[in-house]
Structure 1
């Protein structure tokens, strides 16, 4: 990676770190504040610092593991107890970084949070050029078992490339054989998810859709769909977005109706909110890492 591009990623990383720390502070100090207000404040900070959200700010409480980003203020508020996960993405142009953390609002969750954080650090330490992704997953799994926890086996970290949040390679959270090697110059979002030993250790889809993505560069026939399609492509390219980001064009209800019609035609796809199968709490920590010959470089630290 050339120096100019690295500077852009580094700047995006600084913005992401500030946004994540801001989210953590808001969670600790603004209990009963809505998830909507939290996400709006985080995304506003990202823009103020010169970046753009690479995807909608995600908030996950307890068993809610991924892909929840509220449409409206009435969609819940920060609890007084439990685990609150926040996942933040920043892009400058097409250069993307992704980071996440978990805030424990109850003392009973302190150990699992510390264990998850340590597993992320161990995983990153193992990331030298030529290492197989399954080996990194084995490091995460071993770290979980050593503290009597388990990982979410059907979630993984992911390669990041220009304007692409999820690249060809993934980093599992369990040991696997026959996996590809990571190479110098590649960028990965490494994100171990932990849960308790009595949990199923797997996430399942809900019927709740909160995040969408343009999947087909096909101009719709309907006039209203054309208008929305053009704005989605212009504003977000093919990166994930929230319908609330389009309410300057039309009311939310109308946005959702058009997106559903476009989803049926395969023009956009949606990410179902994911929950732990057995309903047990889940933690998450994540960094974006550049693989180098001399060792990993954390871009979101």
Structure 2
């Protein structure tokens, strides 16, 4: 998710659960007791005590002959599948390589904790420090600091592996004609299943963004919206996972038409350049300058006209704090004079946006993203509307300070939330984040990775085979 202010006929999770249940053998464990048939139980109640002795043997025999089948096992089946996936239908996304240790169904249904019972989650891309920070790789003091923060690293790596497995599924179903509302709903449900949480403990880090064309960010379908993905669309898929508030923020661009290759390539190169320059003591000004230089070295020809690709100057990368998607520091993606330095232990999302338009976004369209004001969370807010107070209690309990959408409220059963939500916004406790748009008719691409500045190295947590 950015700072400042969708499948061909893939099976749904419920269908996979049903098929899996049918495929599992019956549980013949002696611990499963036979349950008496309700009909035979009713027949065994004899209203006439004088005839009970004669009737009893026949009824017992009938009961023995009406044995019910044992219950089916509810335990999930861990299925090893080929991890290889051909992504050639999406421009400039690499294929997923096979992994003999990969254990996941398609669509995904096996929690990450069952795949890695010892919490040995895959480590992200390791980037060694150099120059004055080269000593950190062998410093015992720095290694001890990492051992002290192992819990945070495990949570982040767990969320990152869930993100990789979910986006592998997403890339298999992202094809022209896809209903983006249903896509977002299904994707977020896999986050809940794989991370075994639906709220502040784990699961969805923020609403799934599927911004199209000139919309750069903060768009997800509202309840009832009918939006489909087209062959000539440029779609930014931006979604997050979290474990205990440790958020993984990662995004990629979906394009099918090869005419958009340079636009997509520009943000891929720029994001990788930004990640490369990031690290302990790296200055924001230097990172921004490197990003802009890489991104704006591209141009694109559309319908016979050549457009320079511009960095969107009012969209930034950002630090990430616990339960705080925008942790307070912003990493501009253009040249600047910010002398702020990155520090050891910080978590960042480097995201870049390239546009064929003005390179400047503004609020537009109907809002779908919201979040409680981080500084006002838990503080008493005078509200006269009982429905607004009830909605606020639900949001605080379910999402805390994590972002959420109207579509998620609808799923929670808050079907009549529009007026109470408006009251919460007017009171200042809830902040709206409308779609961010460049000029109509333009196209925007995005790429984003999350990394942590560990004491001994930089770890790009969200890196995968795809990008």
TM range (shorter): over 0.9
Offset at 1:33?
Answer: 2.3
- In the other structure, the counterpart of 1:206 is 364
1:191 matched to 2:351 = yes
Structure 1 residues 71 and 3: alpha-carbon distance in aligned structure 2, compared to 1, 3 A threshold: same
Offset at 1:162?
Answer: 0.6
Structure 1 residues 111 and 266: alpha-carbon distance in aligned structure 2, compared to 1, 3 A threshold: same
Deviations 1:96-123 (A, max 9, x none): 1100000112110112212211211111
Between the aligned partners of 1:276 and 1:288, the Cα distance in structure 2 is 25
**Partner secondary structure for residue 445 of structure 2:** strand
Between the aligned partners of 1:271 and 1:87, the Cα distance in structure 2 is 15
- In the other structure, the counterpart of 2:165 is 18
- In the other structure, the counterpart of 1:145 is 296
Between the aligned partners of 2:334 and 2:419, the Cα distance in structure 1 is 39
- In the other structure, the counterpart of 1:270 is 432
Q: Which moved more, 1:159-168 or 1:109-118?
A: 109-118
Between the aligned partners of 1:295 and 1:141, the Cα distance in structure 2 is 25
CA contact (8 A) 2:223 2:406 kept: no
**Normalized per residue, which structure has more strand?**
1
Between the aligned partners of 1:146 and 1:41, the Cα distance in structure 2 is 37
Offset at 1:20?
Answer: 2.4
**Partner secondary structure for residue 70 of structure 1:** coil
Offset at 1:247?
Answer: 2.3
Offset at 1:74?
Answer: 3.2
Deviations 1:240-296 (A, max 9, x none): 1112222256553x2111101111111211001111135410000000011135442
Q: Which moved more, 1:121-130 or 1:215-224?
A: 215-224
Offset at 1:187?
Answer: 0.5
- In the other structure, the counterpart of 1:33 is 178
- In the other structure, the counterpart of 1:239 is 402
**Partner secondary structure for residue 296 of structure 2:** helix
- In the other structure, the counterpart of 2:262 is 111
Structure with bigger RCO (C-alpha 8 Å, 6+ apart)? 1
Structure 1 residues 267 and 187: alpha-carbon distance in aligned structure 2, compared to 1, 3 A threshold: same
- Unaligned residue ranges in structure 2 (runs of 5+): 1-145, 196-201, 300-308
TM-score scaled to structure 2, two decimals?
A: 0.61
From the CA coordinates, give the structure whose radius of gyration is larger.
2
Between the aligned partners of 1:205 and 1:248, the Cα distance in structure 2 is 26
Between the aligned partners of 1:133 and 1:16, the Cα distance in structure 2 is 27
CA contact (8 A) 1:206 1:275 kept: yes
Alignment of 1:1-301 (within 5 A): 1=146, 2-28=149-175, 31-50=176-195, 51-148=202-299, 149-196=309-356, 199-215=357-373, 216=376, 217-219=379-381, 220-248=383-411, 250=413, 252=415, 254-277=416-439, 279-301=441-463
Deviations 1:1-54 (A, max 9, x none): 5112101101111111222232222213xx222211110111011111014111
Between the aligned partners of 1:230 and 1:87, the Cα distance in structure 2 is 27
Between the aligned partners of 1:271 and 1:64, the Cα distance in structure 2 is 13
TM-score scaled to structure 1, two decimals?
A: 0.93
Offset at 1:76?
Answer: 1.1
The two structures, once aligned, show a CA RMSD in angstroms of: 1.6
Between the aligned partners of 2:359 and 2:404, the Cα distance in structure 1 is 28
Detail structure 1 runs of 4+ shifted over 6 Å in the superposition: none
**Partner secondary structure for residue 162 of structure 1:** coil
Structure 1 residues 247 and 124: alpha-carbon distance in aligned structure 2, compared to 1, 3 A threshold: same
Between the aligned partners of 1:125 and 1:82, the Cα distance in structure 2 is 30
Matched residue count: 296
Between the aligned partners of 1:16 and 1:248, the Cα distance in structure 2 is 21
**Partner secondary structure for residue 368 of structure 2:** strand
**Partner secondary structure for residue 122 of structure 1:** helix
Q: Which moved more, 1:209-218 or 1:148-157?
A: 209-218
Q: Which moved more, 1:286-295 or 1:97-106?
A: 286-295
